[in-house]
Structure 1
Amino acid sequence: MKFFNYFLLATAFVLVPVSCDNKPENLWQIEIKNPAQKVEVQDLSAEFYNAGVPLAQFQQKYPWFQGTVSDEDFGKRRLDKTEIAIYKEAVDKIGTQKLNNELTTLFSHIKHYFPEFKQPKVFLYSSALQGIMEPIFYHDAENMLFIDISAFLGQNNPNYKGLEQYWQVSMNPQNIIPKVSRVFAGFFLKESFEHQKFLDELIYQGKIMTLQDAFLPGFPDYLKMNYDQKQYEWALANEANVWNYFVENNLVFSDDSRLRERFINPGPFSKFYTEVDNDSSPQIGIFTGWQIARKFFEAKPETKLTDFLEMDSQTIFNESNYKPKN
């Protein structure tokens, strides 16, 4: 596919500016008439690293926090200067009050579309870098949300030395809310891995990203994708060429499970197996599915979000009339 290779190579170095002047009306900018209760996050590590709080008192208050760590090791960690420094840096950077406000807004939007949503208790903690690969955890049985703030110190932070750059792109304080939103999107839309074609995967990811649009109408799109601005601009500039690649290589209706690793899973780039792979944006299949979903809502803006989530992939694809142009 020579043209695709040439175009990708060219746009890898010359990014096309994206104009917002002709942006369609945001369907998800809605008036919240029944907002969520004001969020007040509970900082577990503030108490954990407070020498004035007896260990026994902390353990009694949070019996589920200790896990299998012995009392001796638990006590040593509370006095570890390196851990304390990481925690203090993290909590200073995130801004607790700002986080409270953004979580309240997020939960209000979730509640609008899913009235059955029960607002969780939110706990902050620092794993001292031990749990940064999966920093957001929702325990639905207890309705508790946990946020590991040591995972959001900022890209290129010295504490992240040795960690792959593609992970660090979304390890900034502004990535917390989109990642929390993504966790709840996955809660409301379970994924089936049985007998999937690539189109099914694309549409599933498009549904997840549509939930991100609905939950976070005021957030920049690149943050919803865990991209930086340059990666997002590459995806926009190459949208038609990526789709042409999928079509011309018969990938859209393929059941090759390896396509998930190439175009969906996290990584430094997407894998077209061309000379421009290193310059491409990662997880481009998620971006493509998102654009298909957006085209669907451009054609059928009256569709209820919950109805859209129940629709099959082929119907969404057909009714989107997705045909991106260069």
Structure 2
Amino acid sequence: MKKILGVILILIAFVACKNDKELKSDIANITVDIPIERFDRLFASATPKDLPVLKSKYPYLFSQKYSDEFWEAKLSDTLQKELEREVDIAFKSTAQIEGDLELLYKHILYYYPSTSVPKTISIITEVRNKVVLTDSLLLIGLDNYLGEDHYFYEGIQKYKSKNFRKEQIDVDVASAFAKAKVSRPLTSTFLDQIIYEGKQLYLMETLLSQKPIHEIFSYTAAEYAFAEENEVNMWEYFVSSKSLYSTDRKLLSRFIDPAPFSKFYLAFDNETPGRLGRYIGYKIVASYMNTNDVALKTMLLQDAETIFNNAKYKP
């Protein structure tokens, strides 16, 4: 009996390995080209006489709330010039970003073949908007990715600035895509919310198959290790505190919303990474996908109760 079971397990592993290789090959064979238009450089080198041409070519980058005089003044604004200089130093080339985005969109087109590859433009946002993604346009605020210790980010809380790195660009784009594909739950229990977040993270992991898992969570490696090591304790806390079916909105700020740490109201809170509810939601979704023969798109449409009841989640 043991020998038969061993053969079955070997066959399952062989089939899984073969399927994985075929999937990688299918994705690799998709052709995607995502050149980044450097609007940040075009604006940096422009004169007032160039503005009409830029406004004609990029009307969506010039808000009509502001007059021509405003844009002319911005051309020589001290802060704008400093941002342009630092961005130019950090991003002499965007080849790596283009490669990362092309790999991401190969995955997107494999799972969502009707998706349009967006026109991609780099801009400067005065450290406000990281990425903006629509069906046809992707804007990347490069000044949000100069490195976590850049002097521009002094005064910004560390839990935010630690992800102001170029390695997070494709993660932020994948996150924007996932938000568009995962509908918000119709009910508002804590379980609904963590599985909603877990769906997004699972989709992001699928689309960023070569990205370290901690980067997908916007965690450091140590923060992700903390989540793994304390998964059982966190789950027991949520169960014993009867949080899963609670509609208390404070649970969102404690365990889901961006924050420097999660709030269990325990002595070690300051040692925890923020948003740990998302981690548990992701693990429930991953368990569901591992124990059920369900297509990715089908799972994304299913309600939290169905996923939870069939996940066989046992940390």
- What range is the shorter-chain TM-score in? 0.7 to 0.9
2:146 counterpart residue number:
153
Within a 5 Å distance, the mapping from 1:1-326 to structure 2 comes to 30-31=24-25, 32=27, 35-51=30-46, 54-67=50-63, 68-94=65-91, 95-129=93-127, 131=128, 134-140=129-135, 143-192=136-185, 194-300=186-292, 302-324=293-315
Moved more, 176-185 or 66-75: 66-75
- Distance, in Å, in 1 between the alignment partners of 2:202 and 2:275 is 16
Percent identity between matched residues is 28
Q: CA offset at residue 51 of structure 1?
A: 3.2
Segments of 5+ residues of structure 1 without an aligned counterpart are 1-23
More relative contact order, 1 or 2 (CA 8 Å, 6+ apart)? 1
1:8-34 CA-to-partner distances (Å, cap 9, x unmatched) read: xxxxxxxxxxxxxxxx97969633165
- Distance, in Å, in 2 between the alignment partners of 1:279 and 1:242 is 14
By percentage of residues, which structure has more helix?
2
Alpha-carbon contact 2:131-2:140 (below 8 Å) kept: yes
- Distance, in Å, in 1 between the alignment partners of 2:278 and 2:31 is 29
Find the residue that maps to 1:265 and give its secondary structure. Answer: coil
Q: How many residues align?
A: 294
1:248-305 CA-to-partner distances (Å, cap 9, x unmatched) read: 10001112122111110001001111111111110001111111111122212x4211
Indicate how the Cα distance of structure 1 residues 33 and 102 shifts in structure 2: closer, same or farther if over 3 A, else same: closer
1:171-229 CA-to-partner distances (Å, cap 9, x unmatched) read: 1110110010000011111213x431111111111110111111100001111111112
Indicate how the Cα distance of structure 1 residues 295 and 97 shifts in structure 2: closer, same or farther if over 3 A, else same: same
**Length-normalised TM-score, structure 1:** 0.85
Give, as a single letter, the amino acid of the residue that structure 2 aligns with 1:66. Answer: F
**Length-normalised TM-score, structure 2:** 0.88
Q: CA offset at residue 321 of structure 1?
A: 1.1
Larger-Rg structure: 2
Moved more, 194-203 or 182-191: 194-203
1:291-320 CA-to-partner distances (Å, cap 9, x unmatched) read: 1111122212x4211111122212211222
**Cα RMSD, aligned residues only:** 2.0
Give, as a single letter, the amino acid of the residue that structure 2 aligns with 1:216. Answer: L
